[in-house]
Structure 1
């Protein structure tokens, strides 16, 4: 059984531009908006909540991962404006064999938001 690549969204994140934590947290707002927006779409990736990506100074944060693919952590995302671009990036990621989406093929709003790139396990 092959699993789809995953978009993990940190649900405990507070946006780096915020003065204080909110209830619900900015990351939870981002997760809920992504799930709602993508509910009726046949996505090539799964959306999963993550309790913490330990990227608190650069919240909101997400991670992309998949079997045999490079993994990525993105930060400083605005839950109000990033939904369409994040869905586009995750789809592009899912449609690669190695997880590498060329810099120029990434939505412009996400090009400079890479926090880390993690080698594939297999």
Structure 2
């Protein structure tokens, strides 16, 4: 059985709307909230913390990747308002054959947040 695709959340990010860093950082808060939301669900993706996605100018960032799938980096993810949309996006990504989720099928709050699209290794 192939490994599940991953939703990687940068836990060192500071939200783009923040005046200063928080403790814990906004990215860590996002990861913790996603972990809590996903705890009782059998999701088609794994949730992983990432130390840094090197996308600091774009606030809280996440990366989606999976074997044989296009990878994506999203920025400016709001840890207070985008939790459900992020879970929806990750589910659609995991269920897609090549990792491509059509723009109109993405949650509206995340449609314009793509920073990069990375070709699959396979």
**TM-score normalised to the size of structure 2?**
0.99
Residue of structure 2 equivalent to 1:96: 96
In structure 1, what is the Cα distance between the partners aligned to 2:97 and 2:105? 15
| Deviations 1:4-59 (CA, angstroms, capped at 9, x unpaired) | 00000000000011111110000000000000011000000000000000000001
Residue aligned with 2:115, SS: strand
Residue of structure 1 equivalent to 2:75: 75
Structure 1 position 48 matched with structure 2 position 33: no
For structure 1, the 5+ residue unaligned runs are none
Query: In angstroms, what is the RMSD of aligned CA positions?
Result: 0.5
In structure 2, what is the Cα distance between the partners aligned to 1:25 and 1:111? 24
Residue of structure 2 equivalent to 1:20: 20
In structure 1, what is the Cα distance between the partners aligned to 2:5 and 2:100? 12
Residue of structure 2 equivalent to 1:85: 85
| Deviations 1:57-96 (CA, angstroms, capped at 9, x unpaired) | 0010000000000000000011011110000000000001
Structure 1 position 31 matched with structure 2 position 31: yes
Residue aligned with 2:9, SS: strand
**TM-score normalised to the size of structure 1?**
0.99
Residue aligned with 1:99, SS: coil
In structure 2, what is the Cα distance between the partners aligned to 1:84 and 1:32? 13
In structure 1, what is the Cα distance between the partners aligned to 2:40 and 2:34? 11
In structure 2, what is the Cα distance between the partners aligned to 1:25 and 1:14? 6
